[in-house]
Amino acid sequence: MLVKRSKMLVLLLALCLTAGTLFGCSSDSEGKDEPATVTIAQSSDPQTLDPHKVGGDISANIFRNVCETLLTYDENWEISPLLAESYEQVSDTEWVFHLKEGVTFSNGEPFDAEAAIWNFKRAASDKHPRQAFEFRDYVKAYEAVDELTLKFTLSKPDIFFTAHIAEVPMLEPKHSEEIGEEAIGNDIIGTGPYVFKTWEADKEILLEKNPSYWGEEPDADRVVFKTIPEAATRIAEMVNGNVDIIMNVQNESVETLEKSDGIKVFPKRLNRTEYIGFNTYDWCETPELQNPKVRQALNYAVDVDTIIETIMGGYGERVSNLWRSDYDGFDEKLSKYYSYDPEKAKKLLAEAGYADGFDLTLMTDVDNHAKAQEVTEAVGSYLEDIGINVKVKVLDDTTAYAIIVNGQSAKKCPGMFDWNWGTKPGLYESTLTGVLSSEGMSSYNKIEGYDELIEKLLAETTEKGRAPYIKEIQEMMVENPACLYLFRLYDIYAVSERIQWEPEAHYAMLVKEMKITK
């Protein structure tokens, strides 16, 4: 009897092992659960992941999950500590930051005051193209008081200093120096909740959970950023459940997404303004744009309200200059200065000596926002109605970015170009230095008076001292326009119901804030 039972046990064990091999269902042989993955579709690859070189959403959605800042923003856009434990202003021109203890980069290197100083110096360097970081115009000295204490000494008071500091992500210095300046954009290491793993060009970027993250462990084990250029394909992938989040949803797709099971749709009002830039450099192929009456005429020529309603589906707010409603000293009357008046536009052109119009190239890129090409083509059509001979030039995002951003010396930018500019709430200095100053990274504005006025405004260190210049810069933008002003942008997101996250509260997609429904 014992022999028979032994044989039976052997037979049962063999069957169990065979079944486990074939079906993977044995409790002892079960593998680990599939990693919790969030898949995000974007319209293009980022130009780079180097956080000191680029700040647009497509790049920031990735690098802000890997690289963190000393300070951050909460859901109400209030500044709060992140890598800093605390900070204090000890005089008008001195700030001291106390860093969190025990924080390391994902490769094990310590995050300390010296590492922070390395990042601020690199971000402020003009040796290579950088973002328009405003802090560099104020900080004259850095000091590592001790391992976890960092002191900034300013050349003059900065009323937005903490907001400026919150803009600078931290890279791991040793690794960055070893791989070199150009390689950093493809191989970033930070202190964040995720680690950069792979980048397959024009296909996908993979992030994985940082096992040594100092903060709260995020729900998602992996984050996949898929590059899907075609809007219709992104919608199909979302509806079919192959991706969890898409942005830049075209308004005509909203109804389809809302009727699909398991999808939430969020229109997000952006701190970003859409405009058509004027190139007023002497070398520009369109010298007519140097005449202020021509630039006024072009602003009257375009029915922006109709573009918002018909092309943007009502998602947009008409503007007449670049001074947003959240900026100090906002003048609502000047924000409504321009209206659609083609007859007035023709009259201004005639007064400027161009009654018969002139030739103009208008450049756009397909990824500037969800309807960039259609908006630009509509603008071109309105300009043709007042006698301008317009050639619309459509480029991909990477090519257009390379022409516009810091491209003044290359002299490839045409007379007009579709662009947008965003800042955190209230941070108007970035608009001044990035778009309106002749030295701005996206500026082709050589109109007399702007640089001098901006310099006077920024020289003042109090809100009261800046107030008259803020009034004057808004007046200058409408009377001597630097752009053809369009609208404040919205972005429409679609989010799977398995992801608990609302984009209205965020500047970029911070995956650690996403909760995944199991």
CA separation, residue 176 to residues 53, 68, 106 (Å): 14, 15, 13
pLDDT tens-place values along the chain, 518 residues long: 333 334 443 344 343 334 443 333 333 334 567 899 999 999 989 989 999 998 788 899 999 999 999 999 887 888 999 999 999 999 999 999 999 999 999 999 999 999 999 999 999 998 887 777 889 889 999 999 999 999 999 999 999 999 999 999 999 999 999 999 999 999 999 999 999 999 999 999 999 999 999 999 999 999 999 999 999 999 999 999 999 999 989 999 999 999 999 999 999 888 999 999 999 999 999 999 999 999 999 999 999 999 999 999 999 999 999 999 999 999 999 999 999 999 999 999 999 999 999 999 999 988 778 799 999 999 999 999 999 999 999 998 889 988 999 899 999 999 999 999 988 889 999 999 999 999 898 999 999 999 999 999 999 999 999 999 999 999 999 999 999 999 999 999 999 999 999 886 456 899 999 999 97
Pairing state of beta strands 359-365 and 245-246?
A: unpaired
How far, in whole angstroms, is CA 503 from its chain's centroid? 13
Please count the other Cβ atoms lying within 10 Å of the Cβ belonging to residue 211. Answer: 8
Are the C-beta atoms of 128 and 140 separated by less than 8 Å? no
**Domain of 186, in residue numbers:** 181-269+492-516
Are the C-beta atoms of 196 and 225 separated by less than 8 Å? no
Q: How many domains does the chain have?
A: 3
Angle subtended at Cα 205 by Cα 201 and Cα 206, rounded to the nearest 5 degrees: 145
Q: Looking at 172, 195, 216, which one is the last position of a domain?
A: 172
User: CATH number, domain at 506?
Assistant: 3.40.190.10
Q: What is the pLDDT of residue 499?
A: 97
Residues 363 and 497 in one domain: no
- Residue of 429, 435, 423 lying closest to 469 (CA atoms): 429
Q: For 12-68, what is each residue's pLDDT tens digit?
A: 434 333 444 333 333 333 456 789 999 999 998 998 999 999 878 889 999 999 999
Any domain includes 95? yes
**DSSP bridge pairs for 246:** 41, 494
Cα–Cα distance measured from residue 311 to residue 251, given in angstroms and rounded to the nearest whole number: 8
Residues 217 and 314 in one domain: no
How far, in whole angstroms, is CA 158 from its chain's centroid? 24
Cα–Cα distance measured from residue 436 to residue 275, given in angstroms and rounded to the nearest whole number: 12
**DSSP bridge pairs for 395:** 365
Q: What is the pLDDT of residue 507?
A: 67
List of residues 6+ apart from 458 with CB closer than 8 A: 137, 429, 432, 433
Residue 442 structure tokens: 């996206």
- Residue of 432, 378, 113, 396 lying closest to 227 (CA atoms): 396
Residues 252 and 382 in one domain: no
Any domain includes 391? yes
Any domain includes 392? yes
Are the C-beta atoms of 330 and 324 separated by less than 8 Å? yes
Cα–Cα distance measured from residue 230 to residue 152, given in angstroms and rounded to the nearest whole number: 46
Q: Tell me the H-state helices in 131-214.
A: 161-165, 173-179
Any domain includes 119? yes
Any domain includes 8? no
Are the C-beta atoms of 443 and 436 separated by less than 8 Å? yes
Cα–Cα distance measured from residue 211 to residue 3, given in angstroms and rounded to the nearest whole number: 51
Q: What is the pLDDT of residue 16?
A: 39
Q: Looking at 137, 172, 207, which one is the last position of a domain?
A: 172
Are the C-beta atoms of 397 and 367 separated by less than 8 Å? yes
Residues 370 and 413 in one domain: yes
Residues 234 and 247 in one domain: yes
Residues 284 and 425 in one domain: yes
- Give the HSE-up count for residue 347: Cα atoms under 13 Å, Cβ half-sphere: 5
Cα–Cα distance measured from residue 77 to residue 507, given in angstroms and rounded to the nearest whole number: 9
Cα–Cα distance measured from residue 442 to residue 213, given in angstroms and rounded to the nearest whole number: 36
pTM: 0.84
Residues 288 and 432 in one domain: yes
Pairing state of beta strands 222-227 and 37-42?
A: parallel
Largest Cα–Cα distance in the chain? 114
Cα–Cα distance measured from residue 30 to residue 468, given in angstroms and rounded to the nearest whole number: 71
User: CATH number, domain at 111?
Assistant: 3.90.76.10
Q: What is the pLDDT of residue 276?
A: 98
Residues 404 and 255 in one domain: no
- Residue of 166, 170, 137 lying closest to 154 (CA atoms): 137
Q: Looking at 122, 143, 172, which one is the last position of a domain?
A: 172
Residues 80 and 211 in one domain: no
DSSP summary character for residue 32:
P
Any domain includes 399? yes
Q: What is the DSSP string of 199-261?
A: EETTTEEEEEE-TT-SSPPPS-SEEEEEE---HHHHHHHHHTTS-SEE-S--GGGHHHHHTST
Are the C-beta atoms of 362 and 414 separated by less than 8 Å? yes
Any domain includes 381? yes
Residues 282 and 387 in one domain: yes
**DSSP bridge pairs for 456:** none
Any domain includes 324? yes
Cα–Cα distance measured from residue 255 to residue 244, given in angstroms and rounded to the nearest whole number: 18
DSSP summary character for residue 432:
I
Residues 275 and 392 in one domain: yes
Residues 344 and 477 in one domain: yes
User: CATH number, domain at 291?
Assistant: 3.10.105.10
Residue 66 structure tokens: 């890997």
List of residues 6+ apart from 187 with CB closer than 8 A: 175, 179, 196
